[in-house]
Amino acid sequence: MTENTKPSLSIVIPMYNEIDNVGPMIARVHEALSQYNGQWELLIVDDGSTDGTPQALQQESEKYGSHVRVVELRRNFGQTAAMQAGIDEARGELIATLDGDLQNDPKDIPRMVDHLLERDLDLLTGWRKNRKDDLVMRKIPSRIANRLIGKITGVRINDYGCSLKVYRASVIKQVRLYGEMHRFIPAWVAAVVPPSRIGEIVVSHHARTAGTSKYGISRTFRVILDLLSVYFFMRYRSRPGHFFGMIGLSMGSVGALLLTYLAFVKFVIGDDIGGRPMFLIAVLCVIAALQFLTTGVMSELISRTYFESSQRQMQYVIYRREDASTDEPGWSQGRAPLAESSSVIQDSTSES
């Protein structure tokens, strides 16, 4: 890489039932990266779409060349699993992710790359400051969730839910995403690097023009449940025995104090304690304490086994479309013109 050449870049876009956005999205990515002074590739992960999105992706990838790679999942695993599949397949030194609904603008990617390199960051996340979404169903729950997540995780940014992010591949590939944890990526990254290496920048946001949103108000409850998991893993992932042990010792202390008091009442004062509710509560606290303490020991064993064993992949790939004529899959060579790219971009733009 020469002095003025930028690091290689992989753009990862998960898509689920976005057939109307396939052509315009690929065209806009090429338009946005037409002046990128470095190698780049586009990985689109189809998350088990049923509306013809996989077929549309194959047709578009054949038009542009081997630097447009399609990864198809066997069924709908969710956005987090699709994003993780794309990150696993990415080969660039930098990785950018964004949604496939055209609400994120690919034109922000080169600017974000420059900002990340200038500030020497490991993660730069977008901030949809002027968000084009419904106030009650999307904006208000998002603002509440952002403040709650920032307070609990200690990583305070304005927009956790923005999928438009740029990472250093060496960092994000140390993080495994499961469930619906893509909302908490900055918190997970903060477990690998200092929070000072995580930045935020204002990005564009557009109203959805095609397709339907996959989110609703119900995701607020899922965020709360996921946040509990994030809190546990960030603080007690390598020492779960401390988490369960603190609860067990607290309940055991309460039970021991109650039993001590009841022993005084029984043997010193001479009152009957067999029918007192306090006696049952004290015994319950002691039993629960023993259960929490033994759970802590078992969790420590499981944790040690987890860290010493290899991690299994949670999603299953049908195939990866690559150029079979070369040993190394294709890259777009930055500012070099692509065959048919200009005409395709114009056609796709006009359709959008």
> Does 86 score more than 60 pLDDT?
yes
Q: Which tens digits make up the pLDDT trace of 134-143?
A: 655 566 667 7
CATH code for the domain of 333: 3.90.550.10
246 and 232 inside one domain: no
Q: Is 156 left (phi over 0), alpha (psi -120 to 50) or beta?
A: beta
Could you tell me if 209 and 248 lie in one domain? no
Segment 25-38 shows an average pLDDT of: 94
Same domain, yes or no: 57 and 17: yes
Residue 314 lies in a domain: no
142 or 19, higher pLDDT: 19
- Over residues 287-322, the pLDDT tens digits come to 999 999 999 999 988 888 877 775 544 455 555 554
Asked if 249 and 161 sit in the same domain, the reply is no
**What is the per-residue pLDDT for 256?**
96
Q: Is the pLDDT of residue 15 over 70?
A: yes
Whether residue 101 is found in the same domain as residue 56: yes
Q: Is residue 4 part of a domain?
A: no
Task: Report the run of H or E that residue 167 belongs to, with start and end.
Answer: strand 165-168
Is 28 in the same domain as 133? yes
Domain count, the chain: 2
Residue 258 vs residue 316, higher pLDDT: 258
| Within-domain flag for 208 | yes
Same domain, 115 and 264: no
Contact, 314 vs 77, CB < 8 A? Answer: yes
At 314 the pLDDT is 46
- Specify the higher pLDDT residue, 105 or 335: 105
Q: How far is 122 from 249, CA to CA, in rounded Å? A: 40
- Residue 352's pLDDT band (cuts 50, 70, 90): very low
| Contact yes or no for 351/23 (Cβ under 8 A) | yes
Domain that holds residue 280: 240-308
This prediction's pTM: 0.72
pLDDT score of 348 more than 50: no
What does the pLDDT read at residue 176? 85
Mean per-residue pLDDT, 209-227:
65
CA distance 174 to 48: 26
Is-contact 130 207, C-beta < 8 A?
A: no
Asked whether residue 7 carries a pLDDT value surpassing 90, the answer given is: yes
- How big is the CA angle at 179 (ends 178 and 183), to the nearest 5 degrees? 85
More confident residue, 218 or 179: 179
Most confident of 126-130, 168-172, 210-214: 168-172
